[in-house]
Structure 1
Amino acid sequence: MLDALVIGAGPAGLMAAEELARAGRRVVVCEAKASVGRKFLMAGKSGLNVTKDEASARFQAAYGGDWLAPMLAAFGPGEVQAWCRELGQQVFTGSSGRVFPVAMKASPLLRAWLARLADLGVDIRTRWRWDGFEGAGFRFLAPGGVEVLHPAVTVLALGGASWARLGSDGAWVPWLRERGVDVAPWQPANVGFAVNWSPHMTRFFGQPVKGVALCVGGQRERGEFNLSSKGLEGGGIYAVSRGLRDGAGLVLDLMPDVPAAEVVARLARMRVGETAANRLRKLGLSAVAVALMQEFGRGLPLTAVKALPVRLAGPRPLDEAISVAGGVRREAVTQGLELRALPGVFVCGEMLDWEAPTGGYLLTGCWATGRWAGRAAAQVRVA
C-alpha cells in the first residue's frame, strides 16, 4: 500500500508534502500538469508577494473569520519569512508592508523548494491527473494509462475554480459531493468588474487611476485600479470586490486628502462660465479622473468628486478571478482538516471555503493550511 499521497503540486500541496516527509512518511505527489506550481509561478511574474508584515490580529482579520486563525498563528508572516530564508531566499518588506523575495520572482524559491523536497525523498509525478474514485482508491490518468492508488493517507490540494488553464478547474467538486462532502458554490474573489463604457472612454483604457478612495458599504480603501475595455481591475478593486460581489455599490472619492468643505471653497473661487472639465482640472484631478467624472457624474454637482457613484455591470467571469470564495465548508472537516465523510483524506489551500484579499494573504493562507493538513495527516497510523 502507498504510504502518503498528495494530489496537487501547488503551494498548499507541496507544503503538505514537506510536512509529511519531515514526519518520516513516504510521500508521492501527483500533479495533473506537466510541471508544478504553475499558478504560483504566474503570481510571481509581477513580483512574488509572499505575505504581509503586520500585527497578527490584523493579519488574521483579513480572512473574514476565525477558521484559519490557529493555522495562521502557527505559520503567519514571521514564519513565512523565516521559511523563505531557510530556502536561501532573502526577503524584504515594502512600504505597504508587503513582503517580497529580493529576487522578486517565484522561480528561484520554487527551485530551492523542489530541491529540498527531493532531498526529503518526495516523489513528484507530473501528468498524473486525478480522475475520481474507483472503489476506495484514487483513479488517475497517467502517462502509462489508468492507475489506481490506495494510500494510507491522502491530502487533497487541488485548488479552486479560477485560472483553469493553470490547473484550478474545480473538477473535483462532484466527486467529493458524491462521497457526502459539503462544498459551497464557487464565487469570484479578487476580481475585476464590468463597465459598459461610453465611446469617449476608449482612449483611457490601460491607464491607472491613482490616489483615490474606494467606498463600498462601510468599507473604505485607499488604492489604485486600472481602466480596461472590460471595466475596472487592479488592487484597489480587488480589495473591495467582496462587498461589490455581494451587492453593495461603488462610490469613489477622487480627492481623499481634501475635505469636502475645501472642495466647495475652491470651486467657489473659480470664474463663472468655465467649463466643467477646466474646473475639475483646476481642482487637481488627473485626465483619467476627469473622464470618470464625465462618465459617471453627468447631472451631478462638481462636488461629486468626493462621492462619485460608479455604475458597474457585475463581476467578471469566475475563471478571470485571482481567487475564489466557496469550496469545502468548515463543517465538512475536522479541526485537522480531515474530511468527516472520508476518514484519512485531508484538504487544504483554495479547496477550502475561505476568502482573503491580495497582498500576501492568499499565498500565506495556502501555505498555512497545507502545513496544518500535512502535519495532521502525518499522525494517521499506517494499517
Structure 2
Amino acid sequence: MKKTISIIGGGTSSFLLAAFLNTEKYEVTIYEKNKTSGRKFLVAGKGGFNLTHSEAVLELIERYTPNDFLKEALLHFTNDAFINWLHARNIPTYIGTSKRVYPKEGIKPITVLKTILDHLKEKGILFKYEHTFSGWDAENNLLINDKSTPSDYTVFSLGGGSWKITGSDGLWLDKFEQKGVKTLPFDASNCTFKISWNGDFLSKHEGKPLKNIAVSCLGKRQKGEAVITKMGLEGNAIYSLSPQIRAQLKSQKKAVIYIDFKPTLSLEALTSKIVNSNFKNTTQILKKELKLTPPQIDLLKIKLPKEHYLNAILLSESIKKFPLEVYELGLLDEAISTAGGISLTAVDSNFQLHTIPNQFCIGEMLNWDAPTGGYLIQACASTGVYLSNYLNKID
C-alpha cells in the first residue's frame, strides 16, 4: 500500500515538491485553502515574471541571507536545472538584459501555472481546495477544516506574511508557536523603505527613477536603480539591502544608506572631471559633464551647504557617498516578500521539524531572505525538489 504525503499550501515550493515525488511510492494530496492554487504565483507575474536568475549558481547562492542554509538545496536543483525542467514542460524561457530569466514573450503567468498544474494532475497528484490547515490533534495528525486528517508525511508550504489577498497571510504562525516550534515575527522585505523627502523635491520628482546608481548599507553594496515614491525608495538597488536595513532599524531605530551616483568612476576620476571641466557652473558640470539626472542634482542641492556644493573635493565625496536616512519599513502586507516565520533552528538539514517527526517546512515560510529578480521562486523550487529527493529515498 502506498504511503501518504499531505502538502499544505499551493505555491511554487509545493508544486515542485509534488512534481518530483515518486507517485508509485506515495499518494500525494495538496491542500489549498483558496478556491484555486498559485494565486501569489500569478500576482508575482504582474511586475515582470522572473522565474529564476541566470548567474552562476555559486554567485546566486551568495544572494541569500543566510546563504549557507539554502546552499545544498540550490546545488541539488540549480537555476539551470529549473530552466531545463521548465523547457521539458513546454515552458521556453529567455534571459533578459538583467540576466533574469523570463517565460518567452507571449507566455503569460497563467499559462505557466496551468501547464505546471496539468503536469501534476497527470502525475496523479490530488488537489483539495477550500481545505484550511487549522492545527494538530493530540496525536500530531493534521487538522484540516478542523477535521483530523492522518498522513504518513506532512509538508507545510504556507508562504510568508505578505499579500494577504493571495492567501499568504501568515496566520499559521501562531499555530506553530503554540505547538512549541520556534518562530520569528514576520518582517517586510523587498518593500518600500520610508524616507522623509523634502516637500518641494517630492512634488518635482515623485515616481522618477535614480538610474545607474549603487546603494550601500553595513558594508553591502548593490548596483541598479531605485524609484522615488511618496513614502521613500523602492527598486532593485535597495531591495537586496533589506536584511542590512532591517538590522539597523532594529538596533538603532533608523538606518543610513549611502548612494553612489557615479559607480563607474573612482573618487579621484570624478574629482578630476569636475576640476577640469570646461563648464564653470557647478550645476552645468553635474548635468553636462557627469550626466547626473535632475533628481540626483536636486538631492545634492537640498542636502549640501552652498560652500560644500561649490567645492570640487567635497562635492565629489557626496556624489560617491550620499547619505539618506530610512526611518521605517513599508507595510508588511505590501512587501514583495517577508523574512521571519519558522526559525531555521527549528528544522534539520532536510527541513524536518525537530519537534514533530515526519513533518516538514519548505519555501518562504522559513526564515531566509532574498532580493527580487527570480531568487525567491528559485529558492522555493529548490527546497521543494530537495525535500522530494529525501522522501523518495525513505524505505
Match runs of 1:113-192 below 5 Å: 113-135=116-138, 136-141=140-145, 146-192=146-192
Q: Which moved more, 1:276-285 or 1:115-124?
A: 276-285
The equivalent residue for 1:111 is 114
CA distance in 2, matches of 1:295, 1:373: 53
> TM-score w.r.t. structure 1 length?
0.91
What is the alpha-carbon distance in structure 2 between the residues aligned to residue 278 and residue 366 of structure 1? 49
Deviation, 1:140, is: 2.8
3-state SS of 1:246 partner? helix
Aligned to 2:40: 39
Displacement of 1:101: 1.4
Question: 1:307 Cα deviation (Å)?
Answer: 1.6
- Structure 1 counterpart of 2:175, one-letter code: W
Cα deviation for residue 271 of structure 1 reads 8.7
Listed as ranges, the gaps of 5+ residues in structure 2 are: 249-254, 310-314
Corresponding residue SS for 1:151: coil
Q: Secondary structure at the match of 1:311?
A: strand
How many equivalent pairs are there?
376
Is 1:340 equivalent to 2:354 in the alignment? yes
Query: Given that residues 214 and 253 in structure 1 are in contact (C-alpha distance below 8 angstroms), is that contact kept between their aligned partners in structure 2?
Result: yes
**Contact 1:193/1:316 (8 A) holds in 2:** yes
Residues 300-348 of structure 1 deviation map (CA, whole Å, 9 limit, x = unaligned): 4332222211122222122222112222223222222111111121110
Distance 1:205 1:23 in 2: 57
Cα displacement (A) at 1:296: 3.3
In 2 relative to 1, CA 113–285 (structure 1 residues): closer, same or farther, beyond 3 Å? same
User: Is residue 2:333 matched to residue 1:331?
Assistant: no
Deviation at 1:372, TM superposition (A): 2.0
1:53 aligns with 2:54: yes
Could you tell me which amino acid in structure 2 is paired with residue 239 of structure 1?
S
Distance in 2 between residues matched to 1:345 and 1:176, nearest whole Å: 12
| Residue pairs, 1:1-383, within 5 angstroms | 3-63=4-64, 64-103=66-105, 105-135=108-138, 136-141=140-145, 146-200=146-200, 201-247=202-248, 249-268=256-275, 274=281, 277-282=283-288, 283-298=290-305, 300-301=308-309, 302-303=315-316, 304-378=318-392
- Residues 3 and 25, structure 2, Cα contact 8 Å, conserved in 1: no
Question: Which letter maps to 1:67?
Answer: F
CA RMSD across the alignment:
2.3
Q: Distance in 1 between matches of 2:110 and 2:377?
A: 15
Three-state SS of the structure 1 residue aligned to 2:326 is: coil
| TM-score, length-scaled by structure 2 | 0.88
Q: Contact between 1:23 and 1:378, CA under 8 Å: does it hold in 2?
A: no
Structure 1 position 2, deviation (Å): 8.3
Distance in 1 separating the partners of 2:83 and 2:239: 24
Give the Cα–Cα distance (whole angstroms) in 2 for the partners of residues 119 and 272 of structure 1.
69
CA distance in 1, matches of 2:137, 2:71: 35
Gaps (5+ residues) in structure 1? none
CA shift in 2, pair 1:264/1:61, >3 Å: closer
- What's the % identity of the aligned pairs? 30
Are 2:33 and 2:129, in contact at CA under 8 Å, matched by a contact in 1? yes
Instruction: Give distance in 2, aligned partners of 1:55 and 1:336.
Output: 24
